[in-house]
Amino acid sequence: MPELPEVETMRRGIAGIAGRRIAGATFPRSRVRPISIEPGVATLARRLTGRTVAGVHRRGKRIVIELAPGAGDERRWLAFEPRMTGLMLVVDPPTVEHVRMVVEFAGRGSGRLTFWDRRGLGTIRLFDDAGLERACGPHKHGPDGLVVTGEDLAARLGDSRRAVKVALLDQRAVAGIGNIYAAEILFRAGIDPRSRCRRLKQPQWDRIAEQARRVLADAVRHEGSSIGDETYRTADNRVGRFQKRHRVYGREGEPCTACGTAIVRIVQTQRATFFCPACQRRP
DNA sequence: CGTTCAACCTGGGCGC
DNA sequence: TGCGCCCAGGTTGAAC
């Protein structure tokens, strides 16, 4: 579920762990499902214990916790990738089931951080500097969606034969956009999701980038999109509000808020795409 | 190379 | 009620 706005909201919600020392880590339901944890749980717990959190970052759709250098040991990065159903929580999780990892903090007002993941597709990995770059450096991630420019998009996608909606999901082109926001961005840019990238000109890339920055920032301001039960929640387990502002996503058959035409749902590379056939045009 | 597709999972909703 | 099927915010690697 979580795309850039949801992950950024989670990041802000757990940012208070900066400066805390890790007392220990447990993995209550990690082995039930093939959630990817690297290195193994025993090694990970050992390497985390005693470390201090130096910062809480986001790379695309990942939360990356920076761990200060230990005694004779280098800086490390603990990366959580929520994929479809992962949540980072500072309060009690929705169920005790599906709790993949709990990080306990030492000292007064200690608290804990819980990674809860119903479907178990998420990943938890500990990196050194080089490992982090390999996993989510510039080779894997394009510019962040909050700051992407039309020049960035044209340079990365201008020659592609792919449909523009499919291309916006490519994290190497732009980091952080997923299925909801790709649809919402293209609606606001007035561009048909089926348009081939190579047919788009600079003004269109500029419009897409401008709406990407705006929509994603708006969604962060509204703490992301929560659709249905046991889905995305903030770190203190509240629902987001941006779903109320969706113009096309999940609105098949409902009237376009701009022109009244029924919103259409199609499938592109196995994933649903929603758009207004009247407001969104091919170049 | 670009692109598609199945796979990884749980669980809600729907038709029969 | 129960069963089978479809669907879901993501990513990966194998197969065209």
How far apart, in whole angstroms, are the C-alpha atoms of residue A50 and residue A202?
A: 51
Question: With contact defined as beta carbons under 8 Å apart, do A126 and A81 qualify?
Answer: no
Mean pLDDT rounded to a whole number for chain A: 94
Residue A142 is assigned to a structural domain of this protein: no
pLDDT at A204: 96
Protein CA A118 to sugar C1' C11 (Å): 17
Amino acid at A160: S
Q: Give every residue of chain A whose pLDDT is below 70, as ranges.
A: 31-35, 109-110
For residues A164 and A73, state if they share a domain: no
Q: Is the CB of A146 under 7 A from strand B?
A: no
pLDDT at A31: 66
For residues A188 and A105, state if they share a domain: no
pLDDT at A1: 74
For the domain that residue A121 is a member of, what is the CATH number? 3.20.190.10
Percent of chain A with pLDDT over 90: 89
pLDDT at A276: 97
pLDDT at A43: 93
Domain span at A41:
4-136
For residues A104 and A162, state if they share a domain: no
What is the Cα Rg of chain A in Å?
Answer: 20
For residues A56 and A84, state if they share a domain: yes
Domain end marker among A136, A168, A200: A136
For residues A130 and A24, state if they share a domain: yes
Protein CA A94 to sugar C1' B3 (Å): 39
Distances (CA, A) of A109 to A48, A99, A102, A112: 19, 22, 16, 10
Find the residue closest to C9 using CA and C1' atoms.
A1
Catalytic residue among A11, A58, A59, A61: A61
Find the residue closest to B10 using CA and C1' atoms.
A119
pLDDT at A64: 98
pLDDT at A225: 96
Residue A86 is assigned to a structural domain of this protein: yes
pLDDT at A272: 95
pLDDT at A34: 59
Protein CA A49 to sugar C1' B1 (Å): 45
Protein CA A281 to sugar C1' C7 (Å): 28
Q: Is the CB of A61 under 7 A from strand C?
A: yes
Catalytic residue among A3, A8, A81, A184: A3
Phi first, then psi: give them for residue A156, nearest 5 degrees. Answer: -90, -30
Residue A39 is assigned to a structural domain of this protein: yes
For residues A228 and A261, state if they share a domain: yes
Q: Is the CB of A274 under 7 A from strand C?
A: no
Q: Sign (positive/negative) of CA torsion A76, A16, A123, A92?
A: positive
Give the pairing of strands A36-38 and A123-127.
parallel
pLDDT at A73: 84
- Residue among A228, A23, A268, A266 at smallest CA distance from A276: A266
For residues A163 and A253, state if they share a domain: yes
Give the pTM.
0.96
